[in-house]
Structure 1
Amino acid sequence: MNYKIGEILQGTVTGIQSYGAFVSLDENTQGLIHISEIQSGFTKDIHDVVKVGDKVQVQIIDIDEYTKKISLSRRTLERQFIRPPYHRKRYFTDKNKQIGFQSIDRYLPQWIDEAMEMLSNRRTSQSK
């Protein structure tokens, strides 16, 4: 059967891998729904969304000319896009602690002394 990009079909899930679900479109044709096309938003585990044997409605989003592999999507058929939850980015600042560079100022002389001693020991061991 000749399929076209954009075509909406009914298929049966025949296999599930961590990267996507394989869908049988007819007796001789199979396509893949990549995990990113299973649903809008983040999909942690495909098994939570589809199971082997499920009848699914899919849309063809790509057909590779050379390998004839068919890429499918369920996400494009969703009526409403599910927005991922908002995650506030957190940046380290000393706004609350008001310590600035005090810790570096306190430890820097000790670090310099340790480094100088280590370099001195290397020179001594190399000259022997």
Structure 2
Amino acid sequence: MKYQVGQIIIGKVYNVKPYALLMEFEGGVTGLLHISEISDSYIRDIERYGTIGDQIKVKILSIDDDNGFLRVSFKQVPTEESYSSHVNKRSAPVMSDNEFLPLKEKLDEWIKQAYEEIENKIK
């Protein structure tokens, strides 16, 4: 299969490193999904996002001209596709900043309630 930069493809994880998931694609082509291309958030344990045998939908960032090795990204897969991109049904979180707005709006109220509960227990 002939791959192109920007193409969305499914690959299978064949090795896990602390910094990346090594993947194999159709036609025996291999590639690297670097930890920085999985999420914008800090990743403590890369195996929460992929383990050996998992199939993950990714976007091709670059192709090595000499050996065809692919550099791919999970976080650059369009949002509408990323929720279903883990073929093994493991959810790899894709979060936007506004998903935390309800938390931010309620935080002051919750802190006040917690202080009131503590004061009531002390009395």
- The corresponding residue for 2:16 is 16
TM-aligned CA deviation for residue 26 of structure 1: 1.8
The answer to whether the Cα contact below 8 Å between 1:33 and 1:73 also exists between their aligned partners in 2 is yes
Aligned residues with identical type, % of pairs: 27
Gaps of 5+ in 1: 86-128
Count of residues in correspondence between the two structures: 84
Give the Cα–Cα distance (whole angstroms) in 1 for the partners of residues 27 and 69 of structure 2.
Answer: 15
Gaps of 5+ in 2: 80-93, 101-123
Give me the TM-score of the superposition, normalised by structure 2: 0.60
Deviation string 1:46-85 (CA, Å, 9 cap, x unpaired) is 11111111111011011122343210110101526544x9
More helix by share: 2
Give me the TM-score of the superposition, normalised by structure 1: 0.58
Amino acid corresponding to residue 29 of structure 1 in structure 2: V
The answer to whether the Cα contact below 8 Å between 1:20 and 1:32 also exists between their aligned partners in 2 is yes
- The corresponding residue for 2:2 is 2
Find the structure with the greater CA-based Rg: 1
TM-aligned CA deviation for residue 23 of structure 1: 1.1
Q: 3-state SS of the aligned residue for 1:13? A: strand
TM-aligned CA deviation for residue 41 of structure 1: 1.4
Give the Cα–Cα distance (whole angstroms) in 2 for the partners of residues 44 and 60 of structure 1.
Answer: 24
Deviation string 1:4-47 (CA, Å, 9 cap, x unpaired) is 10000011111100110011112421111001011231112211
- The corresponding residue for 1:56 is 56
Amino acid corresponding to residue 72 of structure 1 in structure 2: V
- The corresponding residue for 1:70 is 70
Q: 3-state SS of the aligned residue for 2:42? A: coil
- The corresponding residue for 2:28 is 28
Give the Cα–Cα distance (whole angstroms) in 1 for the partners of residues 6 and 95 of structure 2.
Answer: 19
Q: What RMSD over aligned residues (CA atoms) do the two structures have, in Å?
A: 2.0
The answer to whether the Cα contact below 8 Å between 2:62 and 2:72 also exists between their aligned partners in 1 is yes
